Amino acid sequence: MRLLFLPENHVLPLARLLAARYRFWGPAAKGGAFVFEEIADVSRLRLDYSTTLLPPKQAFLPPREILARIDIETHECRSPARPGKPIALFGVHPCDLHGLAHLDLAMGEPPADAPYWRARKDAFIVGLACVQRCMPESFCDSVESHRAGGPFDWMFTPVAGGYVVELRGEAGEREASESGLFEVAGESWKKNYDETRDRIEKTFSGRRLNLASLSSDLERSFQDGWWEKLADRCFSCGACTAVCPTCVCFDVQDEIAEGCRMAERCRSWDSCLIRNFAEVAGGENFRKLRSERLRHRMMRQGAYLAGRFGLPVFCVGCGRCPHACLGKISPLEAFEHSRKFPIRRYAQRLVEHIKNGVTRHE
Amino acid sequence: MKKLRIAFYSFTSCEGCQLSLLECEDQILDIVGAVEIVRFREASSFKGGEFDADADVSFIEGSISTAHDEAALQTVRMRSKKIVAFGACADLGGVNAIRNRQDAEVVKERVYGKYVKWIHTSAVRPVSAVVHVDYALHGCPVDKDELARFLFGLVAGRRWAEPVAPVCFECKLRQNVCIFHKGGTCLGPIVRGGCRAICPAYGSGCDGCRGLAPDPNLPLMRRILRDHGLGPDEIGRRLDLFNASAVPDAMRRELTGRA
Amino acid sequence: MSDAAGSAVDYLPELSTLAAVRPLTAAESLFHLDMPHRALGHHPGQFVQVSLPGIGEAPISIASSPTRPAGFDLCIRRAGNVTEAIHRLKPGAKIGIRGPFGRGVPIDDCMGRNVVIIAGGLGLAPLRSLIQYITDHRSRFKAVTILIGARTPETLLFPDEYGAWRSRDIKVEVTVDVSKETWLGHVGVITNLISRIDVDPDTTVSIVCGPPIMYRFVLRKLARRNLQNDHIYLSLERRMKCGMGKCGHCQINGLYVCLEGPVFRYDRIAHLPEAL
Amino acid sequence: MHDHTNITVEHVARVEGHGNIVVNVRSGKVEEVRLEIVESPRFFESMLVGQDADAAPELTARICGICSVGHTTASIKAVEAALKIEPSEQTLLLRRIILAAEILQSHVLHVYFLVAPDVFAAPSVIPLAEKYPEIVKRALRLKKFANRIMTIIGGRHIHPVAMKVGGFSKIPEESEVLEILDLIETATVDVDETVNLFGEIHFPDFRRPSEYIALRKNGSYSFYEGNISSTANQDVDPVRYLDVIRESVKQHSTAKHVHLQAGRDCAFSVGALARYNINGRETLRPRAARAADALNLEQMKDNPFANNFAQVVECVHLVEDIQDLVSELLARGLKDERPPAVGSGHAHGRTRSHGPTRSGVGAVEVPRGTLYHEYEIDGHGHIVRANCIIPTGQNLARMEQDLREMVPGILDLPEDEIRLRCEMLVRAYDPCISCSTHMLDVKFRK
Ligand SMILES: Cc1cc2nc3c(=O)[nH]c(=O)nc-3n(C[C@H](O)[C@H](O)[C@H](O)COP(=O)(O)OP(=O)(O)OC[C@H]3O[C@@H](n4cnc5c(N)ncnc54)[C@H](O)[C@@H]3O)c2cc1C
Ligand code: SF4
Ligand code: SF4
Ligand code: SF4
């Protein structure tokens, strides 16, 4: 691990350098909150931001994106090329870095998603450590994503007078040395750095979940009537998935363009909470009830995707969804509840299930 | 290929939805190139009577509030292969239906004084209460991009897929600060989206012009509105702005908490 | 990561040409497609994403065997935008294809065994691929039985092909839910047919495809015939948008039908509450 | 020469709303002229009763989709007048800009889409688009310019969402306001071209003396505010609008007719030509004044067809207005001020005064003339009485009288031609029938 120091007043010059070579994304203030967006004028950069309304996911998986442009007459088709320059994400908090790592897994599982990777491949990612909790709803520490992790090239940790920057990989080294803005390690900031890291650990010492058993606990709670109770507080509006850094579900629809000559096959973010998400022709809906859809999302975050990719959990605790949810439903609540689910009731249901004669292996 | 014949008709309304077609400044030339518009009185003269065009798709703007409206609508239904309820008035009854919740005689008297006898109107109804409706374009007014997509979809030979997600979903995509977090109130969680949450995006809570989303959680909405200071009457007025005749009484009770 | 970037797949349809259309029932027709630039290279039970520009995409099972030369068949029911638009096409028209996707029927597990194929309604479409495969390599399989159910005689798929199947030493039993007097065959639900056949639990595999409600009853019946769950394969339908395990629509609990299915060995999904 | 002619134009096309023209001629004499408004009545004044006062703008916007910014503005002004709410300078600027944009967009729509087809002998703008694509594209460009402004300031044109009692629920970003300035140059060229186009057009030479009414504010060409002015009444405070005009119900029309109080059946007209006549050429901005000269407007000020020219002149004037107003807005710097409570804009009880019932009048110039909203609001903030007087209703009597005066002079023409003339005359007023059919009551003083 190589550490360098960046004085506070070098941040903007550095951002400017990156902005010249990359499409520059960072946190900026908008309408009384913060958003992660492409910013032309780097002085809008707000490294003091709390959290953003949407995660930086949209840099690589935009809310609406054209997958193919197809000539309606000839059927000739092409994938729209992304604008030439790669993307730089500047100032990504640890939860969102972990979120990007999860996205990489979901979009990287073979067959990997080409539109995503075209944007993601040469992206330069700059992390920024959190020294305080961004909002009451966040629970990054419960799922252990309050520490630096995920795909960063630089990781900034604020210390007195500037940032200690951890460099990673070839791109991180190259950009740092080409910029000429970093300073070599001194003893004082080293001490400062360790202190900050200790402080972060102390600040983020919320209740840790038993991540080892989380997914099995959750899966066991599947038949619990508690989900129905929880769904009384759910509108099934999909706000939670929309703001989630790890949700990837999408819809694909054709649009007509260019004087009815071209079709644009577009994908747009979808949500497993939306009523018709699992409905097929003929009207069968595999998750018809609000409670089934809510449960599915929690299972995806806490069990399904985690299991699929060998992780303890697929939620990064950013707290965006409980903040967005008007019923104040938090994954943390579901994760914690799953442990309380009484084994006895599970056993009882299993017996019923076997009595029904359908399954043997439960 | 024969061009699709499209007609626009207007009943009790502000004609804003028809105007929305002209507001598609970027697509209008493509649209009129791709279809044959056989009735569109707001911007065009036609030979023949007002309601007697044979059309593949007829867009009905406005609610039905007079015997004349009703008879004309029947004619249009007979001469059209598909009927589109075009905008909130046609789709839900819209603002016009507010008067259904007032005494009909008082309503006329308030406006026409001693001349009420010259005024012949009935209760306000959505188009679907009179004839079979094939599609609905929601909103007051309809969203012009949605309208363009709808029309292009027709040209391409595709059935319209109704937006199902509530307003909140698109509100998040638009990176709005939730109106509730700003101290206001909003019906977005129970209202059908498709408007790209334009009201919250401009700092104003949703008033439900696109009608209720399927399977809305009304008790939860009531609790949240109550916690934000809205009583049963206020919730009722809020709902009635566009949905006075669109929401069944039982659901209305569930939302307002009052009989 | 760089691996993923290097091998990533786009959502671009390839061109195929509609070579022939054969109406089957009021709602279903058989479409024969040619791919000009390559063979499809599929396994029985796999599906493709079929698309028309401006209309959209839909997952459709491949209804012919890879052992048949030149092109492939799709048996398509009119159900919505894409399927209806395809029904409007004339031979010579172009159709977009992505795929094949998913896991088909594991032929190796069927070889050397008795095979019981159970098809309800449109479920026969994907299974026809397997049936053709079996007829083309008949000797590799032991006793083969096909149980077919449909609502009415008029909605039976491929009735003109049953003769050819039977001639390859395959037992074909057919039943309909309701019929007119002219129908001489069985009347009743498909599970009735299961009672009528021989099932040796040790040497038999069964492959089932049909409408969602059919599975429960068929499985109960097969269990009663002592067939083990790991000898049963089910082909399941879910909504799909990508075919590549990304869009999330086809998820059954933690599984993706498009990647791990659509054909599942029953013991691998029996514990999943959302499977059936 | 026709002895007995019944001219009926059913459902006059290319106007907003449903109206018929009936003209009966016997022995060369016009016996009867009627403008029948068959639009279904809307009853807004009744629907307003019981509403929260700050819901009124959102509700009354739905009176008319074509001038919903105008209705919203009048409604807000009425509530603010009743409750003594003083909007900020920035709010006033924003309102003036969005109102200007709506009038511009409405005029463009009218002169290009509704009038031009007559002039180019086309049934609608669609064949026009095939024959003269450049003209139609220019119209769309201008419309889009105006629409963009309304989107930036109000969220959208039809039923704007950000305009509230007390202010705006969202203040535009500076970058968006700058975008308006960027668009001005093209818009200026386009309105100049519009003047050139209409300079080649000749309308029938039909002149008659008439009364005109418009809002006037000490010598400037005003839209947002001013006193009611006419040749007879100078500078009456809008609060006293019923001293100047009164409404009456006609059996053949669901829209009420409006007359001058001065004498029974004394018709007048409002709209672009009225504004020009009341304010005078010298109050126009320089380019607009030159446009008026180019179109000979001063010589035609007694010709109702010249309303179309006055609209073109106003287009030029409005683009200049917008440029100045936007520059002023930017020079002041945008402040993020919001009305007291964000949210729905109503049902917050912020219009609650716990005082006595108070009333207020909001008068504003909209595309077709002067629009009045008057509300009485009780101590709970609920509306207890409402009256709205719409420009088209004010023009109806004048339109009928014009028909009566014009038809005898054109009886030599073929019937189709007479019918077209009648339609053109009515269209020249740019009637908006949908919005004039809800009119109400109203204790008009007898
Ligand atoms: C693996 C697989 C194999 C299939 N094989 C065949 C086959 O061989 N022959 C055949 O006729 N059909 C098959 N289907 C079903 C077929 O995909 C649907 O009927 C088709 O997607 C409908 O598409 P559409 O555009 O015509 O209808 P749409 O207009 O998209 O939709 C009509 C209805 O279908 C639902 N729907 C939308 N997308 C899907 C989807 N992807 N899957 C299911 N329902 C959807 C909608 O909610 C709506 O209710 C298969 C489905 C799957 C998942
Ligand atoms: S599930 Fe909620 S808390 Fe977890 S990562 Fe997603 S949005 Fe954040
Ligand atoms: S503002 Fe309204 S629509 Fe948007 S998230 Fe909040 S409640 Fe939902
Ligand atoms: S936010 Fe609500 S009121 Fe506003 S346009 Fe959308 S549905 Fe209509």
Residue in the block written with tokens 């535009």: D172
Which ligand 3 atom sits closest to the C-alpha of B184?
Answer: 1
CA distance C255 to chain A (A): 8
Q: Is the peptide bond before C66 cis (omega within 30 degrees of 0)?
A: no
Domain coordinates in residue numbering, chain C: 8-101, 107-275
Residue of A nearest to B216 (CA): A235
Would you say A305 and A314 are in contact if contact means Cβ atoms under 8 Å apart?
yes
- Are residues A234 and B219, on separate chains, in Cβ contact within 8 Å? no
- B204 reaches D (C-beta below 8 A): yes
Q: What is the mean pLDDT of chain C?
A: 93
**CB atoms inside a 10 Å sphere around CB B77:** 16
Interhelix angle A331-340/A290-299, nearest 10 degrees: 90
Supply the pLDDT for residue D392.
Answer: 85
Q: What is the mean pLDDT of chain D?
A: 84
> How far, in Å, CA of A250 to CA of C162, rounded?
41
Return the half-sphere exposure (C-beta side, CA atoms, 13 A cut-off) of residue A106: 28
Q: What is the mean pLDDT of chain B?
A: 89
Assign residue D280 a region (left: φ > 0; alpha: ψ between -120 and 50; beta: otherwise). left
Tell me: do D134 and D22 sit in the same domain. Answer: no
- Nearest residue, CB atoms, D40 vs list B16, B29, B66: B66
Tell me: do D117 and D134 sit in the same domain. Answer: yes
> How far, in Å, CA of C153 to CA of C163, rounded?
16
| Sheet of strand D383-389, all strands in order from the earlier edge strand to the far edge | D358-366, D369-377, D383-389
**CB atoms inside a 10 Å sphere around CB C226:** 12
Say whether pLDDT at D3 is over 80.
no
| Sheet of strand C114-120, all strands in order from the earlier edge strand to the far edge | C186-187, C170-176, C144-150, C114-120, C204-209, C232-235, C263-265
Proportion of chain D above pLDDT 90, given as a percent: 51
pTM of the model: 0.92
**Paired residues of B12 in beta bridges:** B63
Supply the pLDDT for residue D8.
Answer: 62
- Are residues B110 and D441, on separate chains, in Cβ contact within 8 Å? yes
Instruction: Looking at the structure, give the CATH architecture of the domain made up of residues C107-275.
Output: 3-Layer(aba) Sandwich (3.40)
Which residue among C28, C29, C83 is best mutated to probe the pocket of ligand 1, counting the most ligand atoms within 8 A of its Cβ? Answer: C83
Helix (H) or strand (E) holding D275: helix D272-279
Contacts of C54 in chain B (CB under 8 A): 152, 156-158
Domain extent for D166: 44-204+284-390+419-428
Tell me: do D158 and D74 sit in the same domain. Answer: yes
Burial of B237 (0-12, 13-18, 19+ CB in 10 A): buried
Supply the pLDDT for residue D10.
Answer: 55
- Nearest residue, CB atoms, B204 vs list D63, D161, D249: D161
Residue D295 lies in a domain: yes
Say whether pLDDT at A260 is over 90.
no
Contacts for B98 with CB less than 8 Å, ≥ 6 apart: B240, B241, B244, D47, D59
Least confident interval from A119-133, B86-100, B116-130, C17-31:
B116-130
Return the half-sphere exposure (C-beta side, CA atoms, 13 A cut-off) of residue C28: 21
Say whether pLDDT at C203 is over 70.
yes
> How far, in Å, CA of A63 to CA of A242, rounded?
9
CA distance A286 to chain C (A): 7
* CA-only gyration radius of chain A, Å: 23
CA diameter of chain B: 58
State the average pLDDT over residues C246-251: 95
Tell me: do D102 and D28 sit in the same domain. Answer: no
Residue D219 lies in a domain: no
Residues with CB under 6 Å of ligand 1 are A 276, 279-281; B 159; C 47, 56, 58-61, 75-77, 79-83, 122, 125-126, 237-240, 262
Tell me: do D302 and D181 sit in the same domain. Answer: yes
Residue D222 lies in a domain: no
Residue D405 lies in a domain: no
Instruction: Provide CATH code, domain C8-101.
Output: 2.40.30.10
Supply the pLDDT for residue A172.
Answer: 94
CA distance C265 to chain A (A): 13
Say whether pLDDT at A353 is over 80.
no
Supply the pLDDT for residue D343.
Answer: 33
Which ligand 3 atom sits closest to the C-alpha of B179?
Answer: 1
> How far, in Å, CA of C218 to CA of C190, rounded?
8
> How far, in Å, CA of D67 to CA of D99, rounded?
9
- C163 reaches B (C-beta below 8 A): no
Would you say C104 and C42 are in contact if contact means Cβ atoms under 8 Å apart?
yes
DSSP codes, B56-76: EEEEEESBB-SHHHHHHHHHH
DSSP codes, A267-322: EEE--TTSTTTTB-TTS-BTT-SHHHHHHHHHHIIIIIHHHHHT-S-S-----HHH
Contacts of B167 in chain A (CB under 8 A): 237
Contacts for A272 with CB less than 8 Å, ≥ 6 apart: A241, A249, A278, A287, A293, A296, A297, A300, C248, C251
> How far, in Å, CA of A256 to CA of B148, rounded?
9
CA-nearest of D167, D166, D170 to D351 is D166
Tell me: do D52 and D112 sit in the same domain. Answer: yes
Alpha carbon distance, N-terminus to C-terminus of chain C: 36
For residue A77, the SS3 value is strand
Residue spans of alpha helices (H) in B24-158: 28-34, 67-79, 88-92, 104-112, 144-156
CA-nearest of C3, C102, C95, C4 to A115 is C4
Tell me: do D50 and D76 sit in the same domain. Answer: yes
Supply the pLDDT for residue D30.
Answer: 75
Contacts of A360 in chain C (CB under 8 A): 223, 229, 267, 270
State the average pLDDT over residues A317-338: 94
Tell me: do D135 and D8 sit in the same domain. Answer: no
> How far, in Å, CA of A354 to CA of C270, rounded?
11
Contacts for D397 with CB less than 8 Å, ≥ 6 apart: D257, D258, D259, D265, D267, D268
Q: Give, using CA atoms, the residue closest to atom 37 of ligand 1.
A: A280
CA-nearest of A304, A307, A244, A310 to A95 is A244
> How far, in Å, CA of D72 to CA of D60, rounded?
7
Going from the Cα of A318 to the center of ligand 2, the distance in angstroms, rounded, reads 6
- Are residues A114 and C9, on separate chains, in Cβ contact within 8 Å? yes
What's the pLDDT band for D230 if we cut at 50, 70, 90?
confident
Tokens of D162: 């950000």
Supply the pLDDT for residue A43.
Answer: 93
Would you say D71 and D61 are in contact if contact means Cβ atoms under 8 Å apart?
yes
Domain count, chain D: 2
**CB atoms inside a 10 Å sphere around CB C134:** 24
Supply the pLDDT for residue A359.
Answer: 43
Tell me: do D130 and D100 sit in the same domain. Answer: yes
Tell me: do D27 and D148 sit in the same domain. Answer: no
What's the pLDDT band for A168 if we cut at 50, 70, 90?
very high
Handedness of CA A96, A101, A105, A107 (dihedral sign): positive
Supply the pLDDT for residue A360.
Answer: 39
Residue spans of alpha helices (H) in D14-112: 44-48, 56-61, 68-83, 89-108
Q: Which residue has the higher pLDDT, A217 or A231?
A: A231
Residue D177 lies in a domain: yes
ipTM of the complex in this document: 0.91
- Nearest residue, CB atoms, B175 vs list A54, A256, A290: A54
Q: Give, using CA atoms, the residue closest to atom 7 of ligand 2.
A: A244
> How far, in Å, CA of A155 to CA of A193, rounded?
12
Proportion of chain C above pLDDT 90, given as a percent: 83
DSSP B178: P
Question: Which amino acid is residue C54, in one-letter code?
Answer: G
Residue D399 lies in a domain: no
Residue D444 lies in a domain: no
Tokens of D213: 């009414």
- Nearest residue, CB atoms, B96 vs list D42, D113, D251: D42
Residue D445 lies in a domain: no
What's the pLDDT band for A355 if we cut at 50, 70, 90?
low
Residue-wise pLDDT tens digits, D381-433: 899 999 999 888 888 888 888 888 888 888 888 877 888 888 888 888 887 75
Tell me: do D62 and D92 sit in the same domain. Answer: yes
Q: Is the peptide bond before A111 cis (omega within 30 degrees of 0)?
A: yes
CA-nearest of B127, B139, B52 to B84 is B127
Which ligand 1 atom sits closest to the C-alpha of C83?
Answer: 26
DSSP codes, B214-254: SS--HHHHHHHHHHTT--HHHHHHHHHHHHTTTS-HHHHHH
CA distance B151 to chain C (A): 12
Residue in the block written with tokens 């000839």: A74
Supply the pLDDT for residue B105.
Answer: 75
Supply the pLDDT for residue D437.
Answer: 41
Tell me: do D141 and D158 sit in the same domain. Answer: yes
Q: Which residue has the higher pLDDT, D203 or C206?
A: C206
Would you say D274 and D212 are in contact if contact means Cβ atoms under 8 Å apart?
yes
Residue-wise pLDDT tens digits, B173-215: 999 999 999 989 999 999 999 999 999 999 999 999 999 999 9
CA distance C151 to chain A (A): 15
Q: Give, using CA atoms, the residue closest to atom 1 of ligand 2.
A: A315
Handedness of CA C122, C123, C127, C129 (dihedral sign): positive
State the average pLDDT over residues B139-153: 94
Angle at A254 between CA A252 and CA A258, to 5 degrees: 140
Judged by its nearest atom, the ligand closest to the C-alpha of residue B209 is 4
**Paired residues of B137 in beta bridges:** B86
Going from the Cα of D294 to the center of ligand 1, the distance in angstroms, rounded, reads 64
B9 backbone dihedrals φ, ψ, rounded to 5°: -125, 150
Supply the pLDDT for residue D345.
Answer: 41
D13 backbone dihedrals φ, ψ, rounded to 5°: -85, 165
Residue of A nearest to C78 (CA): A281
* CA-only gyration radius of chain C, Å: 18
> How far, in Å, CA of A244 to CA of A224, rounded?
25
